[in-house]
Amino acid sequence: MTRFTLRFVWAALTLVVAAPALRAQDAAGGDDAPGRFIERKAEGWFWYKDPKDAPKPPAPKASAPAAARSAQPADASQEPFSAKWLQQNMPKLLEAAIDNPTKENVEAYLYAQRVAMDKSQTYAEKARSVVASDPFLDENNRVPLSTYAKPSFLKGVESAKTDALKHLTTVGGLWVFFDSKCEFCRPQIFSVQELARKHGFYTKFISLDGVGVPELKTFEKDNGHAKLLNLKLTPTTVLVVPPNNYYVVSQGMMSESQLADRLVLAAESQNLLPKDVASKVRTYDRGVLSAEDTQQGAGSNPKDWVQYLKDKLQGRY
């Protein structure tokens, strides 16, 4: 992140913090505040109003001297310019600069803002250096970010999906439920036929109304399977794994690639894939801490739990 970007973000934050104060200042003016007469249209335009009916202005309240209203950073015992100090004092410094914009008050807020931006830049530069020197923190080691390496990574993802589909053809097949009057069923039948042709799936096409479609040479009439599987619409594609396992992978029309992804997802979630194939499919799990990893290991000493996390990540790349 560039220094200009950091300063731009802080400028935006300044507006966010300042807006409530400005709205509060406007609300404090009351109904008779200058510039609010349009909201009092029921009274008529102000030049028709009899001056004698106007409410008497309230007696001025004694105000503290300007010097007394200057910003007074709280909790001076804190480490000067620490993140906690800035967090607590910058809103107060801003309010003082808005309510009493003396040179000293405005200067105090702007210099505090300068400190915050400089500290954020220093942190960002150090974080970039730490990430570049630690393979467990560099996301590029999990999923390549560069244009050069991305095609090779995606090719590996597609290869893993192909291996998973090839294995699925050895353990199960596809049932496709359709209706002859369904406008989306014919495209879905074609997608399943193409998927079966490429990977070798056994397929069965089942007509809910007992009528076929031109795309199919053979089909079967539904004999209660749709009701048993609680199917809601057509087309529906089901992964069938004998002897009695049925996994609905899509209800509605899907492209061939979408259907392939759903089949792999179903196979993975139901543990239908060999360990070596499953590990290839879970490409994006590379270098990810599991839920079990984060249920223990935390402590009061950062050095200890950082080492614990490094030990857990070791070997997962």
- Full domain range(s) for residue 116: 83-128
CA distance 176 to 203: 8
104 and 176 housed in the same domain = no
Q: Which candidate, 260, 80, 66, places its Cα nearest to that of 160?
A: 260
93 and 196 housed in the same domain = no
Q: Is the pTM of this model over 0.85?
A: no
Whether 234 is covered by a domain: the verdict is yes
Split into its structural domains, the chain has a count of 2
255 and 167 housed in the same domain = yes
Those residues whose C-beta lies under 8 Å from the C-beta of residue 163, and which sit 6 or more positions away, are 277, 280, 281
Asked if 117 and 12 touch (Cβ cutoff 8 Å), the reply is no
- 3-state secondary structure at position 248: strand
Q: Residue 52 corresponds to which tokens in the numbers above?
A: 């004698």
**What is the predicted pLDDT for the residue at 13?**
43
103 and 165 housed in the same domain = no
Whether 67 is covered by a domain: the verdict is no
CATH number, residue 227? 3.40.30.10
190 and 273 housed in the same domain = yes
Q: How would you write the pLDDT of the chain (317 residues) with one tens digit per residue?
A: 444 444 433 444 444 344 444 444 444 444 444 444 444 444 444 434 444 455 555 555 555 454 445 555 555 456 889 999 999 999 999 999 999 999 999 999 999 999 999 999 999 999 999 999 999 998 888 888 888 888 888 888 888 999 999 999 999 999 999 999 998 999 999 999 999 999 999 999 999 999 989 888 899 999 888 998 888 889 999 999 988 899 999 988 999 999 999 999 999 888 899 888 888 888 877 888 888 888 888 888 899 999 999 998 888 77
Whether 228 is covered by a domain: the verdict is yes
220 and 123 housed in the same domain = no
110 and 161 housed in the same domain = no
CA distance 65 to 77: 26
CA 91 to centroid of chain Cα atoms: 29
Whether 75 is covered by a domain: the verdict is no
Asked if 70 and 100 touch (Cβ cutoff 8 Å), the reply is yes
